[in-house]
Amino acid sequence: MNVPRSVLPILAALAACGGSLAPLPVPAGLAPASIAEASAWADSTRPAEARDFRFRLQFQDERGSAGGSGRARLALPDSLRFDARGALGSWRAAAFVAGDTSIWAEPEDDVRKLVPNYPLFWAMLGIARAPEPGSTVRTLADGTVTAWQFVTGGDTVEYVRLDAPSGRLLAEVRQVGRRIGRVETSFGPDGLPVKSRLIVPSGPARLDLTFSQNTKAGPFAPETWTRPAPAQP
């Protein structure tokens, strides 16, 4: 497999996959809840300060695999600069995401191919997104397992947070009944993400992040949010 010129087509391949996954382990007995309650829980998964993530990435599907390294800089509440590169600089990509919107991505043509879905994107960093206005919300918490389900029209987002014996956040998105993908993020004893895996059902296709650094960050330089010059062919 040739290494792609950017990580964005890799993620586009994930987004295009269909197929099936075993059901997410959502416990029975979810009860109605308010959007305000769900938003408060989602806010609790977000770091209390700006963060600087460093990670290794590995993509694999039936055609082969490609690896690289990356960095994500989070400015509160939900602005994120994402950078990734292949081994020996064989490809590079960058994007600026604010909440559920891509402000820019380089290469430009791949803006919509960054990730299959924004809740899945944020879940890979261990962060849940609040439900959209008008969503139907249900939840259950029993001390070790917290589950949330957000339904908006034909779309469903589900989260399961497991607190013992080791912390994990599971997230799954379905659109009109079709599973778009699932994320499983594991946390260390300090509560910071250690590794994350995105699975899109058919293929199969998989994207793994292994975090090597997750540190508190000071104010980011203004140019952090500036779109870089397009890569030369």
Of residues 102 and 147, more confidence is placed in 147
Q: What is the mean pLDDT of residues 24-42?
A: 94
Q: What is the mean pLDDT of residues 212-225?
A: 95
Task: Give the helix ranges, DSSP H, for 118-175.
Answer: 118-123
CATH at 192: 2.50.20
Q: Which domain holds residue 107?
A: 7-216
Instruction: Give domain status of residue 224, yes or no.
Output: no
Instruction: Give domain status of residue 225, yes or no.
Output: no
Instruction: Give domain status of residue 221, yes or no.
Output: no
Question: Please, which pLDDT band fits residue 114 given cuts at 50, 70 and 90?
Answer: very low
Instruction: Give domain status of residue 222, yes or no.
Output: no
Instruction: Give domain status of residue 38, yes or no.
Output: yes
Structure tokens of 122? 């944020």
Instruction: Give domain status of residue 223, yes or no.
Output: no
Task: Specify the 3-state DSSP secondary structure of 79.
Answer: strand
State the total domains in the chain: 1
Number of neighbours of residue 223 by Cβ within 10 angstroms? 7
Instruction: Give domain status of residue 165, yes or no.
Output: yes
- What is the average pLDDT value for the chain, to the nearest integer? 84
DSSP string, 11-64: HHHHHH-----PPP-PPS--EEE-HHHHHHHHHHTS-SS-EEEEEEEEEEETTE
Instruction: Give domain status of residue 200, yes or no.
Output: yes
Residues 39-67 have pLDDT tens digits of: 999 999 999 999 999 999 998 877 777 78
